[in-house]
Structure 1
C-alpha cells in the first residue's frame, strides 16, 4: 500500500472517530437531563413527536439538510457530497450504539448533570473538529452551515456561523415542541449552553488538532494552521 492510500485510510479513520465522539456527546447530553445537544435537539424532538428512534430521525433530518445545501449552492453543489447520506446513516447507528452503551447512566445531583454536560460539549466539539478537519466530506449540519457561510455570512469565520446555526436549530426545536408536545421537551439550559459554546471551543481546539491532522494525513509537518476553511469535496 502506497503512502497516499495509507494517508487516505487514516483520514477515514479520523473521520469515523469524530462521528463516534459526536455520537457519545449526544448520548451524554441526553443522559444529563439538561437538554439534548443542538445538533440533535431537533431529531430528538421529532423522535418524541413521531415515536421513532433518535438515530432514524437523525438520518431523515440530515437528508433534509443535504437538500438545503443543494438549494443554496445550486450548480456549486458537488455531487460527491451526496455521500453525506452514507455517513449520516452511520452516525445515526452510532447514536443508537452510544445510547445503548451508556444506558441509563447518570451522575446524581445537579453538579453531576453539569459534569455530564461538560463531557458532552467537549466530545461534540472534538467530534466536529476531527471530521471537518480531515477534509473528506462534511456531515449534513456542517455542510449546510458551510453553504450558508459561503453564500450568506461570507465575512464570518465558520465557528461563528456554527453558533448561529446551532441557535437557530434550537429555536426551531422549541417551536415544534410547543406546537406538538404541549411544552418544551429535550431542550433546557444545557442545549443553549452547547449552542453557545461548542463553536467557541472548536477555535482553540483546532489549534491543536489541525496541525496534528496536517502532519498525520497530509504530510505537512512544517505547516501550522491558525485559520480553517471547511472542505466539502472528497479528495
Structure 2
C-alpha cells in the first residue's frame, strides 16, 4: 500500500477538486440545455427560484441538510471529519457560478441539440462523481447521504441506491416547484433521464477512472520502499 504523504494528500485534493469542477460544468450544461437541471442540483435550483437567492448559496444550504441526514442515520458512528463535506460544498457552489459564467448563454436551439447538451451534462456529472469518490477523501453530501442509506437502511449497492435517491430529490423539487412557483420550473424530461442514467453510467466509467486515480494518488516507488524496510526491522526486533 502507498504511504500517505503530503504529496499524496495534495494529489487527492486536486483530483477531488477536478471532479467537482466537472460536476459544476454538468450543472451549467444541464441548465442551458433547457431540458431540466441534473437531479443532484434540482432541489437547490428550485429553492433558488422560490427564494430568489443565487444557486450557489442554495447548494450550500441544501447540502448541509444532507449532512444532517447522515448524522441522524449514523448517530454515534458518524465521523466528524465528514463535516468537511460542508467545506467542499462551498467550493462546489463557487465552481457552479464559475462554470455558468464560462458557458454563458451558449445553447443549441434544436431539440436534438438540447439532447446533445444534456448528454454532455450527464457525462460531466458521472465523471465528476467518479473522480471525487475515487480520490478517497470525503463524499459530497448527497453521495454521503446515499452511502448512509445504502449501508444502514436498505443494505443495497451504492449505484442502485443512487438512482432511487436521485429520483426522490427530483420528486421533492417538483413538489416544491408547484407549491412555491405555481408550476413546473427547471425540471423536465432531461432531469428524469439524468436520474435514471447517471448512476448506470458510473459503473463502466469507474473501471477506467479508478486505476487512473490510483496511479495519480499513489506515492512514488522510492517513497514506498522505505517504510517496508522499517517494518521488516520492527519484525526482527520483536
TM-score for the superposition, normalised by structure 2: 0.89
Partner of 1:231: none
Give the count of matched residue pairs.
Answer: 219
The structural deviation recorded for 1:119 is 0.3
Counterpart CA distance in 1 for 2:102 and 2:144 is: 28
User: Paired residue for 1:169?
Assistant: 169
Tell me the residue number matched to 2:197.
197
Q: Which residue is 2:91 aligned to?
A: 90
Give 1:216 deviation, angstroms: 2.2
More helix by share: 2
Matched residue of 1:9: which SS? helix
**C-alpha offsets along residues 97-138 of structure 1, whole Å, 9 cap, x if unaligned?**
111111111012001100000000000000000001111011
Q: Which runs of 5+ in 1 are unaligned?
A: 222-235
Does the 8 Å CA contact 1:14/1:131 hold for their aligned counterparts? yes
Q: Find the aligned partners of 1:220 and 1:193 in 2 and give their Cα distance.
A: 41
User: Equivalent residue for 2:21?
Assistant: 20
Aligned equivalents of 1:172, 1:108: Cα separation in 2:
29
Q: Match of 1:141?
A: 142
RMSD over equivalenced CA pairs, Å? 1.5
Contact 1:25-1:120 within 8 A present in 2 as well: yes
What's 2:52 paired with? 51
Residues 42, 172 of structure 1: 8 Å contact kept:
yes
Structure-2 separation of matches of 1:217 and 1:191: 33
1:135-186, Cα deviation, whole Å (9 max, x unpaired)? 10110000100111111121x2111111010000000110111111111110
1:71 is matched with 72
Contact 1:214–1:220 (8 Å) recurs in 2: no
CA contact (8 A) 2:7 2:219 kept: no
Pair member with larger Rg: 2
CA distance in 2: counterparts of 1:219 and 1:207, whole angstroms? 21
Q: Note the C-alpha offset of 1:8.
A: 1.4
TM-score, normalization: structure 1? 0.90
Runs of 4+ in 1 over 4 A off after TM superposition: none
Alpha-carbon shift at residue 215 of structure 1 (Å): 2.4
